[in-house]
Structure 1
């Protein structure tokens, strides 16, 4: 705005030359042809370059041998434990709701309830252990291992909880096919 009046720019000569009327633009159009119907195209039969051998190939011959995962009965046994520290009424209600959801098979809602409880009591090692258990049930062993490690750190003098945390870590490592790590975690659990 200049002096209270809007300033209107007039098109310059160069912009007028660039803009062509629609009839001039139509002269440079490209005509296209309709797509051909592919219904008459027949696929060519596949002929392998080498004749197939008549010897059966076993799966063991194709893949290198890897350690076989242990059956569920061979995995590190551990038992879920109950809270050893007195919980606030709100956290108790959230843990109760999480237990009900977990028993009903709704692991996501159970994990959400425990996460809310952790926001209320962030230094409670038992809550982290319970969340680690839920993550293990959800087949998230990496997350379960990390949560169990945090629980073991927070459980300063609670040797029972520390032992259970390390057994859970061993179980999570076995689920990840880390058998040497699981053995080390079991050895650490035996120290408590």
Structure 2
């Protein structure tokens, strides 16, 4: 009996070791409702990257400072006082005579003209003159001029038509053209002294508009001679 016990005790460690190896080689039984085991990787861990050593910066040079020199207390000199300004005696401004007023310029006025009746045997010319008078009264001077020019093409030697056209040009502020038309009217009037007088008065008014006052007086003197 002691020998059997001794053999059993000696073989017990070997038996335990073999059972342990057999237990580790078997897969564990599955357990439901349990989270899967996390297998730890046995791969070698990566080595940390080597840190780049920074180059050492050169040390900053040491600047030596020296204390400021003592210049002593600062002294201020008083400002010089300016002498008082002497008052300048007032001087009298010489009086000059006022300039003489320019002489008054005698201006001529435009005198109103009497209406001149048309004496023409042509009914077409009479109708054109009536239409021109209506356009002139309504302020449409351009249409009135065009109508009178049509009448002149029908009767080119009618002095009254030229006089009426001269009146329209004077209303259009065209005194030079009105003066030429009035001269032609006076020339074509022959023995009609009234038309000649009216034509020269119109010439005088046209010269007043042109600031030719001497010529206006001469034209009025010419009109008074008829």
Shift of 1:81: 1.5
Residue ranges of structure 2 left out of the alignment (5+ in a row): 1-98
* Matched residue, 1:17: none
Are positions 1:133 and 2:164 aligned together? no
Are positions 1:169 and 2:203 aligned together? yes
Kindly provide the CA deviation profile for residues 146-172 of structure 1, in whole angstroms up to 9, marking residues without a partner as x: 000000000001000000000000011
Kindly provide the CA deviation profile for residues 8-64 of structure 1, in whole angstroms up to 9, marking residues without a partner as x: xxxxxxxxxxxxxxxxxxxxxxxxxxxxxxxxxxxxxxxxxxxxxxxxxxxxx9xx9
1:144 alignment partner, SS class:
helix
Q: Which of residues 100, 117, 131 is equivalent to 1:82?
A: 117
**RMSD between aligned alpha carbons?**
1.8
* Matched residue, 2:140: 106
Residue ranges of structure 1 left out of the alignment (5+ in a row): 1-60
Rounded to whole Å, the distance in 1 between the matches of 2:182 and 2:171 is 13
* Matched residue, 2:68: none
Shift of 1:69: 4.5
Kindly provide the CA deviation profile for residues 93-141 of structure 1, in whole angstroms up to 9, marking residues without a partner as x: 1101101111110000000000000000000000000000000011100
Are positions 1:152 and 2:191 aligned together? no
Rounded to whole Å, the distance in 2 between the matches of 1:91 and 1:151 is 17
1:115 alignment partner, SS class:
helix
Of the two structures, which has the highest relative contact order with CA contacts closer than 8 Å and spacing of 6 or more? Answer: 1
Shift of 1:82: 1.5
2:180 alignment partner, SS class:
helix
